[in-house]
Each structure stands twice: as structure tokens, then as C-alpha cells.
Amino acid sequence: MDILLLGIYSFFVWLIFIKFKWLPWNIYSQVTVVIIPIVALTVMILTLNVVAPSSADLRVFRFTVPIVSQVRGRVIEVPIEEGNRPVKKGDVLFRIDPTPYQLQVNTLQAQLANAVGQQKEVEESYKGAQAKVTETKGAIEQAGARSAEISAKIELARRRVAQYRELVAAGAGTKFDLEQAQTNLADLTQQLAAARSSEAQARAGQQQAVAGQAQVQQRLGAKVDGEYAQVAQIRAQLENAKWDLEQTTTRSPCDCYVVNLQLRPGGFVAALPVAPVMSLVETTGTVVALYRQNELHQVEPGNEAEFALDTYPGRIIKAKVNSIIWASGAGQVQVSGTIPMTGVLTAPAQRFAVKFDMADRDKELFLAAGAAGDAAIYTEHAAFLHILRKVILRVGSYMNYLVLKLH
């Protein structure tokens, strides 16, 4: 672009001073003719670098997702292919032999059914123990009532014996009636002893019933979310085994594509986070360009931007500024007990990254991870100069058609 402007300027100088000789061609005009383009180009370039900053360090980044198997086993199927062929979210990446995990599920299902059956038997035993405790309580209450009733009769019989004894002593009663009353008292005393014995037996039975109930309760164990602990434990183991069985089929977590696929059927994978079996590259990428710090003071999110990638010679991709990442590694201090050092030599100025959002017309364009190119941002200032940056960017894009090597 600079050469083009100098060429136009030289043409007008030739017309004015040489062709038509409108002005004299002397030392003063010659010096003026040389100084004007130097000053003009300098001012133009310095202004252009502020109102339409450019970067020759543009990169396309794509996030990668390392795939690690959740379970260990022998690979029996790898239905995907490497390269730029897309893999949709949920597509099967590979399958592991599910036989040992299916056997574990079957075993736990049988154990769960057995535990549930045993639990029902114990629950029925617990209900019987509860009924026995209730029955003994009723027997105790009945025996207690019988004892109270006989005690009242004994008290009445004792009064009658005392009354008959007084009557016999006074000659007003018969000895037979006294003996009969004494016999009734003795009989009631025996009945009271029998009733108290029955009550003691009922209380002993109650203690045995309560002990049996406690024993059954201990066999039942505590409850977890409304389910007894033993059954809940086996059910949890079963759910874990089912989850392991599901993990024998590994599916894609995103819309991605696979590069450098080495996994093959017959290989063995282990559930180790440090040993991924493949890596997926996301289909959507992030375009970032690095700028010097003093180039960005006029740049704002939403500014128009363009960039040219080496992989697409002659094509200009439209975009907008998403954000400026106002941070760099030079501004980070690691946590330590050491006092930060500035160093003997001054470190080079760190650049800041600018993220771009591609325009709708170019969103479907495939951007290779690691692709490089040039970028330009057009601020809201000095819009008449933006045409120069656009021309420079397009000329550079067409230069990408040239492959400058001799072999």
C-alpha cells in the first residue's frame, strides 16, 4: 500500500514539475518533494496503527477433550474414523467387553432379590414379636385385674371371719358359719397366690417378647431413605454396577472431530486419568490475535474486525471484537515466600489478546486448529483511514497464494 501511494505521489510530482513544469524543479522543490511523503506516510501509519490496529499474530484455537475410559477392559469396537469427519454429541466412540460387568450386575440382582425376601421374613417375624408383646401386656393386665378382684374379696372375707368370731364368742353365732368363712378366706388366699403367679409369668413372657422384638429389630437394622440398610447397601452396589456396565460404551461429550486415532479393537484400556485413549477437537473454535498494549486504547468490544488466514488465500473473514483479555503472564505473581525479582534486564513488553466473534456469513467456515494469519480492527475513529488498512489486509491475503520455496 505504501508503494502504491508513493507511486501515485510520484506520478503527480512528474506531471507538475517535469511534464507541465507548473513549478520550478530546483533544490528547494526537490527537498520539499522528498520531505512531504516521508512526513505524510509517517503520520498516516502512526495514526492508522491507532485507529485501525493490525496484528500479524492471529491464531485459531480449538479446545480439546481428552477421552479417558471410566472402566477397564478389552476394546471390542471402535466405530469412528479419524480425520476431519465430525462426531456428534452422543455418538459411540468405542466399546469395551461388557461381560464381566454384566455378570456383576446379575450377581447383585440375585443378592438384592434374596435380601428383599429375607427382609420380608424378618418383617413378618417383627410383626409376630409385636403381637406377642401386645398379648403379654393383655395377659399382665388381666392377671392384675384378677389379683385386684381377689384382694377385694379377701378383704371382705376377713371382715366376715372377724364378725363370725365375735358372734361365736357372744353365743349369737354358730361355729359352722365361722369355719365356713375361714375356709372361704383360705380359698381366696390360694386364688390370689395363683393370680399373682400368673401375673409374674405374664411379666416374664413380656420380657421374653420384648427381647425377641429387640433381636428382630437388630436384624432389620437401620433405615436409609425408607429402606433397610442391608437392602439399601446391595441396591447401591447394584446401581454402581449398572453404571459401570453403561460406561463400557463411551460416547462423545460434544460435537467434535477426532485426530490421530490410535485405539483399535483388541486394545486394553484402563480407568486412569493420566492415560487418555484419544482426544476430541471441538468443531467450534476461538479466534485470538495478539496486539501491543499501546495499540488497544481505542479498541472497544463490538468494533468491526477482519482477518485473513494463511489457509484461505485471498479470502477476508468478517468479525467483531468480542473482548480484550486485559491480562498476561507478566502480571501474575506466584504464591511463595520469595520476594519478586525484576531481573537484570528489562523483560519485553507483553501483548494482550483480543477475541473475535465471526460474522454470520462466515460461521460455517472450517477453521483449522492452529491456523495463523493477520487481523485488523476498525475503531470508531478516523473511519476515512480504514480503507488503507483494508487494502493492506487484502493485498497481504492475496500474497498467501505465493508459495516461496525451491523444493
DSSP state of 69: -
Given a contact cutoff of 8 angstroms between Cβ atoms, the answer to whether 189 and 153 are in contact is no
pLDDT at 218: 59
pLDDT at 161: 72
Max Cα-Cα span within the chain: 182
What does DSSP say about strands 304-309 and 317-325: parallel, antiparallel, or unpaired? antiparallel
Residue 228 contacts by C-beta under 8 Å, 6 or more apart in sequence? 119, 220, 221, 222
- AA letter at 292: R
The torsion angle over the Cα atoms of residues 357, 361, 365 and 368, rounded to 10 degrees, is -20
Q: Per the structure block, which three cell numbers stand in for 93?
A: 466412540
Q: 100-242 is classed in which CATH architecture? A: Orthogonal Bundle (1.10)
Overall size of the chain counted in residues? 407
Distance CA 44, CA 47 (A): 5
The torsion region of residue 260 among left (phi > 0), alpha (psi -120 to 50) and beta comes to: left
Element (H, E) at 257: strand 256-258
Q: Is 247 helix (H, G, I), strand (E, B) or coil?
A: coil
Predicted structure pTM score: 0.62
CA angle in degrees (0–180, nearest 5) for 29-31-35: 115
DSSP state of 187: H
Q: Per the structure block, which three cell numbers stand in for 325?
A: 483479555
Distance CA 249, CA 254 (A): 15
Q: List the pLDDT tens digit at each of the 407 positions of the chain.
A: 556 666 776 777 777 777 777 878 788 777 787 888 788 778 888 888 899 999 999 999 888 888 889 999 999 999 988 766 788 889 999 999 999 999 999 999 999 888 778 777 666 666 666 676 677 777 777 777 777 777 877 788 777 777 767 777 777 667 777 677 778 778 878 877 777 777 777 677 667 666 666 666 655 555 555 667 777 888 899 999 999 999 999 999 888 888 778 889 999 998 887 778 888 888 778 899 999 988 998 999 999 999 999 999 999 999 999 999 988 777 777 777 777 666 544 555 678 999 999 998 888 888 888 899 999 999 999 888 898 889 889 988 999 898 887 77
Fold: same for 53-62+284-331+349-407 and 100-242: no
In CATH terms, the superfamily for domain 53-62+284-331+349-407 is Efflux pump adaptor protein, beta barrel domain (2.40.30.170)
Residue 341 contacts by C-beta under 8 Å, 6 or more apart in sequence? none
pLDDT at 135: 72
Per-residue burial over 185-220, b if 16 or more Cβ lie within 10 Å, else e, is beebeebbeebbebbeebbebbeebeebbeebeebb
Distance CA 237, CA 189 (A): 65
- Domain 64-96+249-278 maps to which CATH number in 2.40.50.100, 3.40.50.460, 1.20.1280.260, 3.40.630.40? 2.40.50.100
Given a contact cutoff of 8 angstroms between Cβ atoms, the answer to whether 123 and 298 are in contact is no
pLDDT at 2: 58
Question: Within 13 A of 202's CA, how many CA atoms are on the CB side?
Answer: 20
282 has which bridge partners? 256
Domain spans in the chain, listed from the N-terminal domain onward: 1-51, 53-62+284-331+349-407, 64-96+249-278, 100-242
Cell 456396565: give the residue: 245
CA angle in degrees (0–180, nearest 5) for 50-54-55: 135
Nearest to residue 282, comparing CAs of 370, 372, 371, 369? 369
pLDDT at 197: 77
Handedness of CA 203, 206, 211, 212 (dihedral sign): positive
DSSP state of 90: T
Question: Within 13 A of 165's CA, how many CA atoms are on the CB side?
Answer: 8
Strands (DSSP E) contained in 86-211 are 86-87, 92-96
317 has which bridge partners? 307
DSSP state of 314: T
pLDDT at 351: 87
Rg (CA), the chain: 50
Q: Per the structure block, which three cell numbers stand in for 104?
A: 456383576
